[in-house]
Amino acid sequence: MTPPGLLIGVDLGTTALKAAAFATVGGALLGCARRRLETRVDADGTREQDVGALRQALKEVFAELRAVVGEDCWQGVSGIGLAAQGGSGAVLRRSDGSPLTPLILWNDSRAAALLPEVAAARSSHYWRELSQRHGPGMGLARLLWLQRQRPGCLGPGMLYAGAGEVGYFLLTGVWRQDACNALQMGCYQVLEDRLDGEPLSLVGTGLEQVAPLRRGHATEPLGPAGAALLGLPAGLPVAGPYMDHEAGYLSAVGSFQSPLQCSLGTAWVGNFTMPQPRSGWSPVQLVIAAPTPGGGSLVIQPLLTGNVSWDWGLNSFVDADQRLALLKVAEVFAERLLPPAGMTCIPWLTQANPWAPGLAGGGVFAGVSPQARPEDFVRALALGLCCEFYRVFRELKERGVVDGIVLGGGASKGAFFRTLLAALFAPLPVVQCADEDVGGARGALAAFAGAVSHSQSIPVAAPDSAQSAAIRRCFEGYAATFAATYGWHPLGAPYRLTGAAHGGAA
């Protein structure tokens, strides 16, 4: 009997590595395996992982997945796709991938103090023309920091590469990077869709120290070392590396023609396409060539908040045990969805404190009375997260850039989040990704089969008219509070269109 066809998607995230097996016909999820990736965390801003641990995690995850799907099914594997977190970096030997440094994660802040020095090397106009965002990529500051910490580390034969490049090299023996990783590194010329050596020269490196760009959905064969690592035959096509948000968007495009794909994870991020890079603007946007037919640009727009703020709220107002907190918070919202009238939270907890320079914490609670209970604070925080999301992306809805909302990421499992967002974005349809835990793994298979890479979706019903009206009134209060508190903030501007609606933007 011929074994069923099988495609395997890999999602190399910040905290875990996941691999999922999908049927090539119909796209059914046949099995999934994951390994947590240990991160070294220190008060000085250190966020590091061992490169060797990625290799071991790949080996273990594929061995477990093989056991889950069964030996007969495993013989039908026909392709592999890889997605990974962007913005990380390690110094490695180009020849064999052996690491000279740990993998420094995207949220490691030790090099942040050098970013103004890098920015000052060119005008603000230069940085905006290069990247279509505010200032240089943090990767440039990290490269400068690494060289000052370890002089000569980026000499001949050495490479600075992130998690996606490392994973792809382990599988294929070929160095490739995705455009979004290059953008976060600071060497991607957005308007020309190419690597640019000039910003690298500002920190004493060059294009010979970074991996070449992946082009389209090109694949490379699984190499002998990768085949031995995964227990699969050499020569299978391997697609990637994709940045995880790029892969997440690819998993959502089956739901709508022009979706706003919402990744409600560690950071809350909205992903959508525009006709070309200058169709819109945000100081913190990431813009790369669209990975879908029709051209244009994919905008990866992070919010200045996310599940770090939500996890703090659960711990502070519900229960210190997160598992219990997730159970109890459902009861909180079953009792009442919204906080008391006038109570608002701006959830910028992870941002710098604008009133006390040098200190962290920009979150704000407003309209708090002596009658407010702990449950009201968590309701205000949840509402604030959703209002902030809508504040940033409201113009996309109003100008017809997107035709539907696809919710994914860990927070999308909260029914209260889904209800709040459905009310705010109405009348646009809102759906939830049916298997959001493997959305990135699905999207990484776009090179092989659209039907497999597209996640199924579940419609999210908006609340009744009275509840929807109450939620919209809460948003107006949130917008007024935000304008009074952060209206001056250079990173506080929502995403703004610079031309007409989708399809006719200038």
Whose tokens are 């089956």? That residue is 254
Per-residue model confidence (pLDDT) at position 503: 43
pLDDT tens sequence for the chain (506 residues): 455 689 999 999 888 999 999 999 989 999 999 999 999 999 899 999 999 999 999 999 999 999 999 998 899 999 999 999 999 999 999 999 999 999 999 989 999 999 999 999 999 999 999 999 989 999 999 999 999 999 999 999 999 999 999 999 999 999 999 999 999 999 999 999 999 999 999 999 999 999 999 999 999 999 999 999 999 999 999 999 999 999 999 999 999 999 999 999 989 999 999 999 999 999 999 999 999 988 899 999 999 999 999 999 999 999 999 889 999 999 999 999 999 999 999 999 988 898 998 888 999 999 999 999 999 999 999 999 999 999 999 999 999 999 999 999 999 999 999 999 999 999 999 999 998 889 999 999 999 977 899 999 999 999 999 999 999 999 999 999 999 999 999 888 899 998 644 443 33
Per-residue model confidence (pLDDT) at position 4: 67
Domain 6-243 CATH class label: alpha beta
For the record, the structure tokens of 27 come out as 């796209």
Q: Which residues contact 284 (CB under 8 A, 6 or more apart)?
A: 133, 134, 301, 302, 304, 491
Distance CA 475, CA 363 (A): 17
CATH of domain 257-426+462-506: 3.30.420.40
Give the sign of the dihedral formed by CA 174, CA 215, CA 206, CA 123: negative
Distance CA 421, CA 167 (A): 35
From residue 68, give the alpha-carbon distance in Å to each of 9, 24, 31, 36: 15, 17, 6, 18
Which H or E element spans position 149? helix 138-149
Can you name the residues that pair with 432 across neighbouring β-strands?
407, 458
Per-residue model confidence (pLDDT) at position 322: 87
| pTM (predicted TM-score) | 0.93
Per-residue model confidence (pLDDT) at position 360: 84
- Start and end residues for every CATH 3.30.420.40 domain found in the chain: 6-243, 257-426+462-506
Q: Which residues contact 385 (CB under 8 A, 6 or more apart)?
A: 268, 305, 306, 309, 310, 347, 411, 417
In the chain, what is the greatest distance between 2 CA atoms, to the nearest angstrom? 71
Per-residue model confidence (pLDDT) at position 3: 59
DSSP per residue over 288-341, as a string?
EE-SSTT--EEEEEE-S--HHHHHHHHHHHT-SSHHHHHHHHHHHHHH-SS-ST
Distance CA 69, CA 180 (A): 33
- Cβ atoms within 10 Å of 445's Cβ, excluding its own: 33
Distance CA 86, CA 178 (A): 8
Give the sign of the dihedral formed by CA 179, CA 185, CA 191, CA 195: negative
Per-residue model confidence (pLDDT) at position 501: 45
